[in-house]
Chain A
């Protein structure tokens, strides 16, 4: 059971994220009073915010009559649902059989050491969330990781860290750019 996924307060990012609950309204309209709607509602909510905020669960319950306990039960049962905000890039490292046999563990270890987070954790700067998943369906390229839509195959620890470094470099560049833009605007 995935008990470990509950109460992961320590890995939650520090920054308070503002949640715009209005975004959920169309979702409620679409699924209200439909049978079997709980999972699609939670999936829709997560698509909007990247995770399922507690306030969203309260609202969903109020509007649809679904019990919060049922929602929480379902959200903690399925691996897909997250109860904490995630970083900008979700790094999914495959730990399926084919990738395991081709030493996916070494890739994970190197990434964990480099990013200084555990499985499921988010870096303090909110840029990366690290997740291990089972089979991304590209076993012939094992070991594999996926960041956003992009898949990286035939990895080793070093190659994986290089990919992360590159993304990080771009992110800091972007930050600097927007910072100078802001300054010049003012």
Chain B
């Protein structure tokens, strides 16, 4: 009889939700009660909305428990391990019974995330046990040539998952074509989109898949050195990568004449980023690795010709690399089975915002946005009205509800004015103000502009000023037109993708939510009731009990009224701080 396993999800977000304490508690009772089970660690399985997660695998099947705290952990162990009765009400996923959340995994196809949440990322044996390092072994044993590897990747139709969507096989071909004794391969793990965590989850949950992808890439282009450029904000990812690199060296997957392939020497190291969004751009990233300010360079020459230290360099995203071993092991055809004509395979999304089941999902290309939000995501929090979804972060745009039948593929998403991006999918409901969202992204890009191009540096600032003014009630006729004019000038006058795409959030919100801009500018009203300065607070006479709570709290003494009599707000004095609204126990204050 196999020993029962108890596995705790210890990704960053699991730890943030308290999984570390749950693990300690499990360890404590295991020892204290002398229980016979194996306590193990894993990482993000994607059900972030149910963290902390604990899985129990016994001879009857697997049971994933959600929202486990120390107390629940005791209960689960007592009932499940000691008395052999699973605690049904806490189970969120199981291969033996149905749960409320099964639809979250139906429709997902896990290729890049194939091991995330299933293995201990700090244990190379577990990666190998699930077919890990089989792809590079296959290349070595079957003497698969460089050109054949490149052809496989080309045939698979895999396109870069870092946002640009450039065919990976083609990139490798270019880098391979350039003759040089020194060549580099870089993994872009800068993940700059604020509100997205696909790459973090892959690095924390399955670092070896990225290493294996890079090793295969190095073989294909002929690189002997590699760099993983990782955000410094991801300490756990860096720690696990370091462990993985050391293990891979021990086992001979890194080093000299790897797996007996004569002359194939390859090793890599991690370079920590220093906090600049623009360093996700490939030429800026290279400048940063070289120890300089992360300022983009003119392309061409492309990195494939002249990259790191002016040598041919191939740069791909984390998720792109994670797909590679699977494609080599299972064949290009198998991968190309998923997806649409021009967008093959799967894409990982970080589903966040006003969504019930927020987490990490991997879906085949071609699924509609609506299906992701309603079938997988379970719909909008509190069943509010779904308004829009933001794709592609600061470079992307908002897709409105009425276009939610749009399918996920590069061309269809581009047609809406948004971009596929790296996988951030932020869901917004009726309480999200679209002008404010545009302002939020512009504030970000304005701060992150490297300053090289005037239009990007100054133009984003001017746009931000106009947007701020609009959200504060000082919008003027003609502002929308001015924003559009600036947007096109910035797009044309910027060197790198940051400037070229920075206006997208503004342009798409103007395109789909022009009425909201107009309400702010003409009527001085925020329809989503989000922009504070545009709100009016009023006391509903019939509901007011005259309890005086609001009157006492008001910082400007704008509220008048006698005890037990309806109160009244003087609009001239009100500074719209919202204190009265949050304090009133009788819901007698309305906002409009």
Contacts and interface: CB of A to CB of B under 8 A. Distances in A.
B12 interface: yes
A31 to B, nearest CB: 10
A135 interface: yes
A162 to B, nearest CB: 16
A153 B457 contact: no
A139 B34 CA distance: 38
Chain A interface residue number, banded = 35 or more
A131 to B, nearest CB: 11
A140 B291 contact: no
Given A78-B274, A79-B274, A141-B16, A36 B290 contact: yes
B274 A96 contact: no
Nearest to A78: B274
B261 to A, nearest CB: 28
Contacts of A140: 13, 48-49, 51, 352, 358-359
A179 interface: no
Contact of B16 (A77, A101, A138): A138
B309 A35 contact: yes
Interface residues of B, number: 53
Most buried by B among A40, A77, A81, A141: A77
Interface stretch (B215-223, B362-370, B444-452, B541-549): B444-452
B344 interface: no
A67 to B, nearest CB: 12
Contact of A95 (B192, B194, B309): B194
B12 A139 contact: no
A80 B274 contact: yes
A178 interface: no
Interface in B274-321: 274-277, 288-294, 309
Interface string A34-53: 01111110110000000000
A128 B193 CA distance: 27
Contacts of B272: 40, 43
The 7 nearest A-B residue pairs measured at CB: A97-B195, A79-B275, A151-B16, A96-B194, A134-B194, A140-B48, A78-B274
29 contacts: A1-B449, A36-B290, A39-B288, A40-B272, A78-B276, A78-B293, A78-B294, A79-B275, A81-B274, A95-B194, A97-B196, A97-B352, A97-B353, A97-B390, A98-B195, A101-B353, A101-B432, A101-B437, A134-B277, A135-B195, A137-B12, A137-B200, A137-B233, A139-B196, A139-B352, A139-B358, A140-B352, A141-B13, A153-B16
Interface of B: 12-13, 15-17, 48-49, 51, 192-197, 200, 232-234, 272-277, 288-294, 309, 350, 352-354, 358-359, 390, 393, 424, 426, 428, 432, 437, 440-441, 444, 447, 449-451, 457
